[in-house]
């Protein structure tokens, strides 16, 4: 029996009902909210494993603001944006506010269900993995990754990361000095073969802003033009 809890945040009753129908057979506990106020109230009483969030609530970009508030209170819990906004700048804005995925409306209920289950599975592995081998620290150059707490340190200073940023950074720190294509990164971190180059670029940019001394001249997380990216833990 599943015990995960999801909060669906959308001001359209029909959309919330569609999501409920798509997910109810999974056994996941589905909570609903239609506003920022309602969401913050529910979060004081319930700990969620995933947020499904619309970009437009009462006002045009309320969802972006709410995502930032959720990140402050629950920094590693996955967020999936559902939005009718399909422009590249909208998708990038959603990912930059802390979302792990951005799905556009109208969406396939089957695809939504698959994405939700995959996201929950990956998140659970990160938070609850009990393999003793994975509880050890990994040290690579200037970085230390605590696999029991899924925390990243640079020169012993903790670097706060979101859930997806943690997954991406763990992938790189486990595979230093190797060049990976966008397809390989997406397959390993997002568990999907449908590559979204914009998503990769956004998360690479986010990580650089957190781990680089000068994000515009990256020495750790480098672009290999025409191929993809590589992580050089020493920055040499």
Per-position b or e across 183-192, b if 16+ CB within 10 A of its CB? ebbbeebbee
**3-state SS, residue 75:** coil
pLDDT tier at 26, thresholds 50, 70, 90: confident
Query: How confident is the model over 9-32, as a mean pLDDT?
Result: 89
Query: How confident is the model over 17-45, as a mean pLDDT?
Result: 89
Within 13 Å, how many C-alpha atoms sit on residue 139's CB side?
A: 2
Write the pLDDT tens digit of every residue in 174-228: 888 888 988 888 888 887 666 677 888 999 999 999 999 999 999 999 999 989 9
For residue 190 the two structure tokens come to: 């997002």
For the chain, how far is it from start to end, CA to CA, in angstroms? 49
Q: What is the pLDDT of residue 59?
A: 63
Radius of gyration of the chain (CA): 18
Q: What is the pLDDT of residue 55?
A: 81
pLDDT tier at 166, thresholds 50, 70, 90: very high
Q: What is the pLDDT of residue 130?
A: 43
Q: Which residue has the higher pLDDT, 120 or 3?
A: 120
Burial of 25 (0-12, 13-18, 19+ CB in 10 A): exposed
Neighbours of 224 (CB within 10 A): 11
Spatial strand order in the sheet of 101-104 = 29-33, 5-9, 50-54, 79-83, 101-104
Q: What is the pLDDT of residue 8?
A: 93
Query: Among the CATH numbers 3.90.800.10, 3.90.550.10, 3.20.10.10, 3.40.50.2300, which is that of 5-128?
Result: 3.40.50.2300
Q: Under CATH, what is the fold of the domain 132-231?
A: Arc Repressor Mutant, subunit A (1.10.10)
User: Which residues, in sequence order, are bridge partners of residue 51?
Assistant: 7, 79
Write the pLDDT tens digit of every residue in 97-129: 878 888 888 888 898 899 899 888 887 766 655
- pLDDT greater than 60 at residue 89: yes
Q: What is the pLDDT of residue 230?
A: 93
Q: Cβ distance 79 to 98 under 8 Å?
A: yes
Q: What is the pLDDT of residue 87?
A: 80
- pLDDT greater than 90 at residue 46: no
Mean pLDDT of the chain: 85
Measured distance CA(81)–CA(95) in Å, rounded = 8
pLDDT tier at 132, thresholds 50, 70, 90: very low
Supply the DSSP string of 210-233, one letter for each residue: HH-SSGGG-SSEEEETTTEEEE-T
Per-domain residue ranges of the chain: 5-128, 132-231
């Amino acid at each position: 029996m599943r015990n995960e809890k999801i909060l669906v945040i959308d001001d359209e009753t029909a959309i919330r009902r569609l999501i409920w129908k798509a997910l109810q057979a999974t056994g996941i506990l589905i909570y609903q909210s239609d506003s920022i106020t309602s969401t913050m109230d529910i979060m004081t009483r319930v700990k969620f494993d995933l947020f499904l969030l619309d970009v437009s609530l009462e006002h045009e970009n309320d969802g972006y603001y709410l995502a930032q508030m959720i990140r402050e209170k629950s920094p590693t819990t996955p967020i999936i944006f559902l939005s009718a906004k399909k422009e590249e700048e909208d998708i990038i804005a959603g990912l930059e506010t802390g979302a792990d995925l951005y799905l556009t409306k109208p969406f396939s209920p089957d695809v939504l269900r698959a994405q939700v289950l995959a996201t929950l599975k990956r998140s659970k592995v990160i938070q609850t993995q009990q393999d003793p081998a994975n509880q050890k620290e990994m040290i690579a150059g200037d970085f230390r990754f605590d696999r029991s707490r899924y925390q990243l340190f640079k020169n012993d200073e903790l670097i706060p990361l979101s859930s997806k940023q943690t997954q991406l950074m763990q992938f790189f720190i486990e595979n230093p000095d190797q060049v990976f294509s966008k397809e390989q990164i997406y397959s390993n971190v997002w568990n999907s073969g449908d590559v979204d180059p914009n998503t990769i670029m956004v998360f690479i940019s986010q990580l650089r802003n957190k781990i680089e001394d000068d994000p515009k001249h990256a020495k750790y997380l480098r672009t290999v033009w025409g191929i993809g990216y590589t992580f050089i833990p020493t920055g040499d």
